[in-house]
Chains A and B, each alone.
Chain A
Amino acid sequence: MSSPKSMQQPMALQLTSVGFLAFWCLIAAFPIFWIAVMSFKDPIDAFASNPLSVIFGPETVATGRGLSIVSIVVGIAFLWYTVHLALTLLPKMVNKYTPPHLLVPGWIIGALVFAIGFLIVFAGILPPVLGAVNSILGPLGKPILGLTTEHYKAVWVENAFYENFINSMIVTVGVVTVSLTVGTLAGYGLARAGSAGSFIAFWILIIALVFRALPHSVLVAGYLPPFINSAEILSPILGDAAPTLYGKPWAVIAVLVSINQPFTIWMLRSFFQNIPNELDEAARVDGCTHFQAFRWVIMPVMWPGVITTGLFSFLLAYNDYLVCSLLLDAQNQTMVPAIAGYFNRETTTTDQVEAVAAAVSIIAPLFLLIMIFQRQIVSGLTAGAVKG
């Protein structure tokens, strides 16, 4: 698309806008990039006032932990090859071995296998091999870039961060599954209900708006007393089996699903409205019930909407601090509230770098998520706005 001459920009304006964009990208990425660098250094390097010593980590190198030029080259080559494989081999294998209606689970399993294989080679096989190679090479094999993974080891192995990780996974997977199951049903029902549906849909929009604004602490103030005393409250109905809801991950799942429900329904309903009504009418003519039409005709074509909505449910559950920290006790805390324990402790600088490492571990999956689902996230964010 070539624009007419009068619309072309003068040189000065072009330079300014390039400069501005570069500046914005720097600001947007720098804090995240920087904590990632910090998490691999000795505390003295990580909190040094000179940026160069944070990047190269002289103290870390001095204690013999670091990467030589050879290691850096091999590492980058390996990473590049991994990305290459992920873009070519992985889709081919997934398409070959999964039947078409199980494509999403197939992708999940494929990605998991790929990630585990990558971790085994990258963290298990490469370091000892490169260590041996470096000791032979002499000057080329001398470490120049300080790098240590001890903080990650301390966080994940010694402080048992994997327990928090498992709790986070339980909560997020639970929230996404339940919220999509309940939400797709309701969204479909509303989209196909005619005038009654549009009336209820309007009220759901109002509720969704109010809930966008309602501080979650207001709701949690309502949950806490009944949750703590739930064993007593429910005992007339359930007898001795009455559970105490406080501290139970599935109670948190129910809470987060409900908080997000108006938004989920609203989004899914607008996706369903874009699927032509004739499709399920045809299925009904062929003798399907409403539910069968939904399961076998609509579900296969609605994946884009479900994935986009699921992403936002995932982000809500994964990033939540308030609800999890109030409704779960310390033993089964999720990752984000658990990290507060690290940076509030902060007695030594080692603790601080461990907190940094824990923080980087939490945001690493989100980084991958943006890489894979950038298009869906953008469309989900803008869909609500542009449609009005």
Chain B
Amino acid sequence: MNTKTFAAFVGPSIFLMLLFIAAPLVSVFMQSFYVTQPVFEQVEVETCTPGFPNQTCVTETKIQPVLGEDGKVVTDVKYVGLESYYNVLEPDRAWAALKVFDFDALLTIDFWKALRFTLTFTLVTLPLVIGVGLAIAITVNNATRMIRGPIIFVSLLPFIITPVIGALSIRWLFIGDGIMTAFLEWWLNQDIAMFAQGWTIELLMMFYRVWHVAPFAFLVFYAGLQTVNQDTLESAVIDGASRWERLRYVIIPHLMPLIVFVSLIHLMDSYRVFEEIVGFSSQAYRISLQWLTYDLLTPDDSGNRSISRASASAMLTMIGIVVLLIPLLRKTWRDHKGGRV
């Protein structure tokens, strides 16, 4: 295939990716250093009301946006350097809180609050997803062939359905005096309101995430279990290995690359946790890094979007991704050098 045909085949795709992936990233980087604001001017306005003998006139200075010739508000773009980053991170307040170990004060700053939640969420759900996925895969693999299809079908449900709606469906079980809340109240014999405090919502969000991702882990591990070497297993039996030892020393090492794979995918996905915040309407209690950017991008009450701060927060989120991905990228690079990819 010569270069021209190759370009004709690959060109459209490269063009799309450059225009809609590379360009926006550059533009986010630039935006985070600039602020676009409407231009304001001071005007003296004299308002008169009829009176006797003379009309009463009041002169006041007003600040109002300048309107251009086309009747729109004139805006100007100003270079502000790192100010937007400063506004997102609020290092002074954060440092003051850190110096006296006052974490509650630190967590009143949106960015740190979001970072705390995102990290806790990621690290708590990771072992649960791996554990539950592995448990289901091993039991399904031991089960009779007939029931495997239906179980895979049922397991796919939480994974495939729209994340926002998956979160909503769990929320509706607990909302108000919903059946699950009623059940918990009967069981624990105390009054429960799941959506009145932060930590219960956080628990529900984590439960949702495990419910949503465990099927994926299950399917990947299940596919891996089909390739376990039966001879090794049999010789382990002959050597007198118990069921647990076979699992520990034969099956788990065989699945190790897949466990790493699922962990990485899960780390990346839960780092950008977002749908849970929407589904459980938890923004008053718990927010995530991606939600922070989203919130800054949504128009506020006066219809303005804080693009600059959103870009700064987006860039900070990106730094997290890079830190997360460096080990993975290095491994891929080594494999590539070794000629495996």
Bound CA–CA A31/B31 (angstroms):
43
Say how far B115's CB is from chain A's closest CB, in angstroms: 13
Q: Across the interface, which residues of B come within 8 angstroms of A262, CB to CB?
A: 17
Bound CA–CA A334/B219 (angstroms):
30
**Which of B182, B216, B223, B224 is in CB contact (< 8 Å) with A49?**
B182
State whether B224 touches A226 (Cβ < 8 A): no
| Given known A-B contacts A258-B20, A290-B5, A370-B160, A25 and B154 have beta carbons under 8 A apart | yes
**Which of A182, A222, A352, A355 is in CB contact (< 8 Å) with B16?**
A182
Bound CA–CA A217/B275 (angstroms):
12
**Which of B160, B168, B219, B261 is in CB contact (< 8 Å) with A315?**
B160
Write the B175-210 contact mask toward A (1 if CB under 8 angstroms, else 0).
Answer: 111110110000000000000000000000000000
Verify if B140 is at the interface (C-beta below 8 Å from A): yes
Verify if B6 is at the interface (C-beta below 8 Å from A): yes
State whether A21 touches B9 (Cβ < 8 A): no
Verify if B271 is at the interface (C-beta below 8 Å from A): yes
Closest A residue to B147 by CB, please name it. A21
State whether A183 touches B13 (Cβ < 8 A): yes
**Which of A261, A371, A381 is in CB contact (< 8 Å) with B219?**
A381
Verify if A156 is at the interface (C-beta below 8 Å from B): no
State whether A218 touches B157 (Cβ < 8 A): no
State whether B12 touches A186 (Cβ < 8 A): yes
Bound CA–CA A283/B168 (angstroms):
53
State whether A321 touches B328 (Cβ < 8 A): no
**Which of B6, B156, B223, B237 is in CB contact (< 8 Å) with A377?**
B156
Verify if A95 is at the interface (C-beta below 8 Å from B): no
Write the B233-266 contact mask toward A (1 if CB under 8 angstroms, else 0).
Answer: 1100100000100000000000001100110010
Bound CA–CA A292/B5 (angstroms):
12
| Given known A-B contacts A213-B271, A218-B317, A206 and B332 have beta carbons under 8 A apart | yes
| Given known A-B contacts A218-B25, A321-B278, A339 and B165 have beta carbons under 8 A apart | yes
Interface residues contributed by chain B, number (CB under 8 Å): 106
Say how far A258's CB is from chain B's closest CB, in angstroms: 3
State whether A28 touches B158 (Cβ < 8 A): yes
Q: Taking each of A31, A51, A205, A355, which has the highest tally of chain B beta carbons within 10 Å of its own beta carbon?
A: A31
State whether B17 touches A207 (Cβ < 8 A): yes
Verify if B164 is at the interface (C-beta below 8 Å from A): yes
Bound CA–CA A370/B157 (angstroms):
8
Q: Across the interface, which residues of A come within 8 angstroms of B166, CB to CB?
A: 31
State whether B169 touches A34 (Cβ < 8 A): yes
Say how far B269's CB is from chain A's closest CB, in angstroms: 8
Write the B79-100 contact mask toward A (1 if CB under 8 angstroms, else 0).
Answer: 0000000000000000000000
Q: Across the interface, which residues of A come within 8 angstroms of B177, CB to CB?
A: 47, 49
Verify if A319 is at the interface (C-beta below 8 Å from B): yes
State whether B237 touches A336 (Cβ < 8 A): no
Verify if A363 is at the interface (C-beta below 8 Å from B): yes
Q: Taking each of B27, B215, B224, B227, which has the highest tally of chain A beta carbons within 10 Å of its own beta carbon?
A: B27
Verify if A306 is at the interface (C-beta below 8 Å from B): no
Q: Tell which of A108-116, A123-131, A188-196 binds the partner.
A: A188-196
State whether B9 touches A378 (Cβ < 8 A): no
Bound CA–CA A97/B319 (angstroms):
57
Q: Across the interface, which residues of B come within 8 angstroms of A220, CB to CB?
A: 294, 297
| Given known A-B contacts A209-B332, A221-B310, A188 and B9 have beta carbons under 8 A apart | yes
Write the A1-40 contact mask toward B (1 if CB under 8 angstroms, else 0).
Answer: 0001011010001000110110011011101101100100
Closest A residue to B16 by CB, please name it. A258
State whether A258 touches B21 (Cβ < 8 A): yes
Q: Across the interface, which residues of B come within 8 angstroms of A257, CB to CB?
A: 16, 20
Verify if A301 is at the interface (C-beta below 8 Å from B): no
**Which of B140, B169, B175, B234 is in CB contact (< 8 Å) with A21?**
B140
Q: Across the interface, which residues of A come within 8 angstroms of B130, CB to CB?
A: none
Verify if B126 is at the interface (C-beta below 8 Å from A): no
Enumerate B314-328 residues with CB–CB distance to A below 8 Å: 314-315, 317-318, 321, 324-325, 328
Verify if A149 is at the interface (C-beta below 8 Å from B): no
Verify if B128 is at the interface (C-beta below 8 Å from A): no
Q: Across the interface, which residues of A come within 8 angstroms of B119, CB to CB?
A: none
State whether B271 touches A21 (Cβ < 8 A): no
Verify if A88 is at the interface (C-beta below 8 Å from B): no
Can you sample 9 A-B contacts with CB below 8 Å? A7-B234, A18-B143, A192-B1, A198-B341, A217-B274, A221-B297, A224-B305, A369-B160, A385-B258
Those 3 A-B pairs whose CB atoms lie nearest each other, nearest first: A222-B24, A189-B9, A258-B20
